[in-house]
């Protein structure tokens, strides 16, 4: 039975070993068919993937030749006479028929969906197990050794986002199970390649605090503030602010200074009130507490206003 791997290098294996096509263009056609497995891929879409808006005059017969090469590659490993059913011609297009257990991509999508369902149902143990199984199917970037045209590239971007979301769900499940210490190292490593991902920072802050490392959680928040300010001119969003408030209830997320990484204590009410007047006039020499007497002329005459500070 043929088995296909797309979550990493493109490989095709059988019971005896590797039977991956080696011709670059045939590999691209196979990649496109796998990404749309059990669905029709039109010949025009294959031509657009291979040559873009500048196809050669022989594009149609050349693309058909790549289909023929793939069939010859698969023929020894499928039941006799069924190769044209496995890689079928459907009008002006082609369909690669594969069972779910033949393609790692199909298994990933199935397991990740089951994991999401378990997490939503309040079963983090099952969710963590299923999501970890889904992620274990990846051995590198999707179709890492295939030159991608527009169609393949769009699928790869989508798969990359699905993988990242699955990682986030698995981290949530592990956190719900109290695996905070295990998450600290993983999150720190992830932030080396995703330094502006605030969600990862928020999870690291919570994992550190839940592991008894509250001071380090504050340092992590301060590092995020500096990074966002330097790179984007922004302050951390609410998710990180909420995390630091849960760890340091008396800290203000925007002002988490203090000695040795600790939060500054909130000032007591009235500590910022202006000093009460002592009756001393700033104009009096050497702080003479007596009110300054005005000259006779300053208040002389009806309707003239007194100078500020003048005694009646």
pLDDT in tens, 283-300: 444 444 444 444 444 444
165: three-class secondary structure by DSSP: helix
Q: Residue range 139-164: average pLDDT?
A: 96
In this structure, are residues 247 and 202 in contact, taking their beta carbons and an 8 Å threshold? Answer: no
Instruction: Express as a percent the part of the chain with pLDDT over 90.
Output: 63
The single residue listed with the structure tokens 């196979």 is 30
* pLDDT reported for residue 62: 97
Beta bridge partners, 138, equal none
**What pLDDT does residue 199 have?**
93
Mean pLDDT, the chain, as a whole number?
A: 83
The one-character DSSP state at 252 is: B
pLDDT at 42: 97
Q: How many CA atoms lie within 13 A of 185 on its CB side?
A: 3
Average confidence (pLDDT) over 207-218: 90
Assess whether pLDDT exceeds 80 at residue 261: no
Question: For the chain, what is the largest distance between any 2 Cα atoms, rounded to a whole number of angstroms?
Answer: 123
User: Is 4 strand, coil or helix?
Assistant: strand
Using 50, 70 and 90 to split pLDDT, how confident is the model at 200? very high
Residue 245's pLDDT is: 64
94-98, 192-196, 282-286: range with lowest mean pLDDT:
282-286
- Mean pLDDT, residues 83-112: 95
List CB contacts of 302: < 8 A, sequence separation 6 or more.
none
**Mean of the pLDDT values across residues 161-168?**
97
Alpha helices in the chain (DSSP H): 24-35, 43-51, 59-74, 83-86, 104-120, 124-136, 150-176, 180-193, 198-210, 214-232, 238-247, 296-299
pLDDT in tens, 113-126: 999 999 999 999 99
Say if residues 220 and 204 touch (Cβ distance below 8 Å): yes
Instruction: Give residue 227's pLDDT.
Output: 86
Question: Looking up tokens 């991509």, which residue turns up?
Answer: 105
Tokens of 265: 């204590």
pLDDT at 83 over 50: yes
Q: How far apart are CA 227 and CA 294, in angstroms?
A: 59
Which residue, 186, 141, 146, is CA-closest to 168? Answer: 186
Angle 149-155-161 from CA coordinates, rounded to 5°: 130
Contact 141, 160 (CB under 8 A): yes
Query: How much is the pLDDT for 267?
Result: 37
pLDDT higher than threshold 80 for residue 206? yes
Percentage above 70 pLDDT, the chain: 76
Q: What is the pTM of this model?
A: 0.75
Q: What are 290's two structure tokens?
A: 């007596």
Look at residue 52 and tell me whether its pLDDT is greater than 80. Answer: yes
pLDDT surpassing 90 at residue 259: no
* pLDDT average, residue stretch 144-153: 95
CA distance 242 to 249: 10
At 1 the pLDDT is 85
State residue 16's pLDDT score: 85
């Amino acid at each position: 039975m043929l088995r296909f791997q797309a979550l990493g290098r493109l490989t095709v294996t059988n019971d005896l070993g590797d039977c991956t096509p080696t011709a670059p263009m045939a590999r691209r056609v196979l990649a496109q068919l796998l990404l749309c497995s059990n669905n029709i891929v039109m010949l025009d879409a294959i031509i657009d993937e291979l040559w873009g808006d500048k196809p050669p005059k022989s594009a149609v017969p050349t693309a058909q030749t790549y289909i023929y090469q793939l069939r010859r590659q698969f023929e020894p490993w499928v039941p006799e006479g069924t190769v044209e059913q496995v890689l079928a011609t459907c009008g002006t297009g082609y369909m690669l028929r594969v069972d779910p257990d033949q393609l790692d991509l199909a298994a990933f999508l199935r397991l990740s969906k089951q994991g999401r369902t378990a997490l939503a149902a309040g079963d983090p143990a099952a969710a963590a197990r299923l999501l970890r199984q889904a992620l274990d199917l990846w051995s590198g970037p999707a179709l890492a050794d295939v030159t991608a045209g527009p169609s393949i590239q769009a699928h790869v971007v989508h798969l990359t986002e699905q993988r990242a979301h699955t990682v986030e769900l698995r981290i949530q499940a592990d956190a719900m199970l109290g695996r905070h210490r295990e998450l600290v190292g993983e999150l720190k490593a992830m932030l080396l390649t995703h330094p502006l991902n605030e969600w990862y920072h928020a999870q690291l802050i919570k994992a550190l605090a839940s592991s008894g490392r509250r001071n380090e959680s504050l340092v992590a928040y301060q590092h995020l503030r500096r990074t966002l300010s330097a790179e984007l001119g922004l302050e951390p969003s609410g998710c990180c602010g909420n995390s630091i408030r849960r760890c340091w209830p008396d800290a203000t997320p925007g002002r988490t200074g203090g000695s040795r990484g600790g939060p500054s204590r909130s000032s007591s009410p009235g500590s910022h009130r202006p000093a009460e007047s002592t009756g001393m006039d700033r104009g009096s020499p050497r702080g003479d507490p007596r009110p300054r007497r005005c000259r006779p002329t300053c208040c002389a005459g009806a309707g003239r206003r007194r100078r500020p500070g003048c005694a009646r």
